[in-house]
Structure 1
Amino acid sequence: MFSKIAVTAAALLAFPFAAAPAAAHEARAESLPLAEAVQLLPSADESREGYQRTSFKHWVDADRDSCHTRSEVLIAESRVEPTIEAGCKVVGGEWYSYYDGVTLTAPGGLDIDHLVPLAEAWDSSASDWTAARREAYANDLDAERSLVAVTARSNRSKSDQDPADWQPPLADARCTYATHWVATKLRWQLAADDRERDALTELAVGCGQETVDYQSAP
């Protein structure tokens, strides 16, 4: 939480942009028990009408540091100092794919998974978003659970399914997966249909004191 700062009139005059208004626009972080967080998901039927993967421009270099989103995730999630060649090409490191409990040292065996798949996001209200917001969703580096490096095999098994139809093959990963799924949907105000909500509710029963931490997307 931010501490309260007393600002004198003189300081406001000297630093007109350092006052409270900027902080007032900060999104508040939320933390809730998983079962409660599931109930906060907006309810809606899903529709994939009009969906194209190209509707979500992804793997961009948003901060223009020569590293696109895939590389940024690989660098952030490597358990050791990654090996990076010219042009921000990640060629080595160590990654743990929590979906299936596999550790890899070569990035070629990894996919960067949109935890809530692009097609699922489209179904759940992203079809109404602007192209810019869909791009922001597809390259969301501001919430570490939105994108995750996992084995290509597990990602392709998951495809565009929600938790009613797919859950990680590693049983110990399912509570983490459920909390990250709900956090991502709440962050972006994405809806859930009845089957998805039922599956998440059932998962929450067996997930003890798991909490969902999220911050609303800009």
Structure 2
Amino acid sequence: MTVPLGEAIGRLDVAVEDRTGYDRAREFGSGWIDADRDGCNTRAEVLLAEAVEAPAVFGRCTLTGGTWFSWYDGQEVTQTDIDHVVPLAEAWDSGAKAWTRERRVAYANYQDDPRHLEAVSQRSNRQKSDQDVAQWLPEESVRCRYLAYWVPVKLSWNLSVDTAEHQALKNLTDGCSDTDITYTPAP
């Protein structure tokens, strides 16, 4: 389904967020998985897919070298983190708490939508941490792109937004008036 950003934001459920009981490793799995059993875990798959200069691959998917473009902060980096565009804690707060552990692990490792996981600089990933769009945004020049990733992840996974997040999204929409959102429900 493709809709304008403003309409997509209007489709998000607004609800109070609750972090009670959140434990990243217990609720979302203790690490990256190899969902397709090809020897590369999710982190390695994202690094390989997003590399500007591909890393060397040894053995059962050990990566060495490579460069990536961290679009959050406009930096080319050789050391990168994999960012959940909608962080795991934010997903928990927004409805993932009600999911099965299996669905949460699937969310943490989801690769069917390339907007879900991003190779970014360690600095930007750590600054962002588990914050939503009311608390953290990338550089101004890429904010529309960030919203065009954030909103479909929330819609695809049927995750809610809190009042502050919803207001921030609405306020930012004015600068992104020509942005359309395409999304499909996640499995």
Q: Is 2:165 the counterpart of 1:193?
A: no
Alignment equivalent of 1:82, drawn from 31, 55, 62: 55
Alignment equivalent of 1:68, drawn from 41, 47, 50: 41
1:87-166 counterparts in 2 under 5 A? Answer: 87-104=60-77, 106=78, 109-166=79-136
Alignment equivalent of 1:43, drawn from 14, 19, 22: 14
Letter in 2 for 1:157: Q
Runs of 4+ in structure 1 over 6 Å off: none
1:17-56 counterparts in 2 under 5 A? Answer: 30-54=1-25, 55-56=27-28
Quote the residue 2:147 is aligned against: 178
Separation (CA, whole Å) in 2 of partners of 1:200 and 1:56? 26
The structure with higher relative contact order (CA 8 Å, sep 6+) is 2
Shift of 1:127: 0.3
Q: Which has the larger radius of gyration?
A: 1
Confirm or deny: 8 A CA contact 1:84 1:92 kept in the other structure.
Answer: no
Separation (CA, whole Å) in 2 of partners of 1:31 and 1:126? 24
Question: Any unmatched runs of 5+ in structure 1?
Answer: 1-29
Letter in 2 for 1:71: A
Any idea what the Cα deviations from partners look like across 1:176-199, whole Å, max 9, x if unmatched?
Answer: 111100010001000001100000
Which range moves more in the overlay, 192-201 or 75-84?
Answer: 75-84
TM-score, normalized by length of structure 1?
0.83
Letter in 2 for 1:76: A
Letter in 2 for 1:214: Y
Shift of 1:93: 2.2
Shift of 1:208: 2.3
Secondary structure in structure 2 of the residue aligned to 1:177: helix
RMSD: 1.0
Alignment equivalent of 1:214, drawn from 179, 183, 186: 183
Secondary structure in structure 2 of the residue aligned to 1:144: coil
What fraction of aligned residue pairs are identical, expressed as a percent? 50
Secondary structure in structure 2 of the residue aligned to 1:206: helix
